[in-house]
Amino acid sequence: MRGDDPIRSAAAGVTDSAIDHAREAVAPFLKKLFNHQLAFIQHPENIDLAKEQRRKPEWQIYQEYVHDRRLRILIQSGMSLRDLEGDPANADRIRGFRENIVSRWGPEGLHIAQVVQTGLLAEVFGTAVRTSPGKKEASEFIEDTLNDAETYCVFVRVEDDPKKKAREIVARVDAIRPKFLYLLSKGKAKDVLHAVAKRVHKEVAGYGWSKKEDKYSFIYVLSRER
């Protein structure tokens, strides 16, 4: 019995009092939470990051053309990755984010997010609206290209051997003659992509070449001419 031990009794009194106090303090929050009036968020910067993407004019346009839920989330994720990559202090955040994408959507999902991160989606979108007879066909073009990112997009990395990578690309073009092929690089891989593109250009006929560049990404676009 508590009353038998005055010291224990006093300690228990303090604890009970603290619990009662905590209960009183937490109760209004719980009430608001269950009444749908309150959200509890440890890192509001993640909320801001996601909300910012949805406010951008870029997303306002894409969302009219992309209806697949998975692609919509991956596009917003790729846009967020692009925002984060501007600051080296975000390296851990980016790594964790990429791991989440792979965990949920697999390596293919990460590739789609990276396509968006490089800015390539704007190029794909431009091609879609330029070459499609209607909005429905443009939507299909964008969704098909993203879903088949493994086929239409080649990521060139800094550790790639230009000769070997060029051979892979030439073999792919010879095998499927894609209407478009996108060669992408980021950061220091730009020089490797140049070397790869030079070799591919010599061996692949019937394609027009254009290039896009921004602060982080370098992209070659091959468009089939016939």
Confirm or reject binding of residue 9 to another protein (CB under 8 A).
no
First to last CA, the chain: 92
Instruction: Note whether 39 binds another protein by CB under 8 A.
Output: yes
SS3 161: coil
Q: Are strands 207-213 and 217-224 parallel, antiparallel or unpaired?
A: antiparallel
Count Cβ atoms below 10 Å from residue 102 Cβ, excluding itself. Answer: 15
What number of CA atoms fall less than 13 Å from residue 76's CA on the CB side? 20
Stretch that binds another protein, among 10-18, 70-78, 125-133, 169-177 (CB under 8 A): 70-78
Query: Do the beta carbons of residue 121 and residue 86 sit within 8 Å?
Result: no
Asked if 192 contacts 156 with a C-beta cutoff of 8 angstroms, the reply is: yes
Among 9, 17, 60, 100, binds another protein (CB under 8 A): 100
- The piece of 40-48, 124-132, 143-151, 206-214 that touches another protein (CB under 8 A) is 40-48
Binding flag, residue 61, another protein (CB under 8 A):
no
User: Considering the rule CB under 8 A, would residue 177 count as an interface residue with another protein?
Assistant: no
Instruction: State how far Cα 205 lies from the chain centre.
Output: 33
Q: Does 142 bind another protein (CB under 8 A)?
A: no
- Pick the stretch among 1-9, 74-82, 186-194, 207-215 that binds another protein (CB under 8 A): 74-82
Q: Is 117 in the site for another protein (CB under 8 A)?
A: no
Judged by CB under 8 A, does residue 157 bind another protein? no
38 makes contact with another protein (CB under 8 A): yes
- The residues pairing with 224 across neighbouring beta strands, listed in sequence order, are 207
Shortest reach from residue 67's CB to another protein, in Å: 12
Is 51 a binder of another protein (CB under 8 A)?
Answer: yes
Please name the amino acid found at residue 176.
I
Candidate residues 23, 67, 95, 104; the one interacting with another protein per rule CB under 8 A: 104
Element (H, E) at 98: helix 91-117
| Binding piece for another protein, criterion CB under 8 A, among 19-27, 94-102, 137-145, 147-155 | 94-102
Q: Which is nearer to another protein, 77 or 185 (CB)?
A: 77
CA atoms within a 13 Å half-sphere pointing along the CA-CB vector of 213: 8
Q: Which of 57, 99, 100 is nearest to 79 (CA)?
A: 57
Residues that bind another protein (CB under 8 A): 33-34, 36-43, 46-47, 49-51, 53-54, 69, 72-73, 76-77, 80, 93, 96-97, 100-101, 103-104
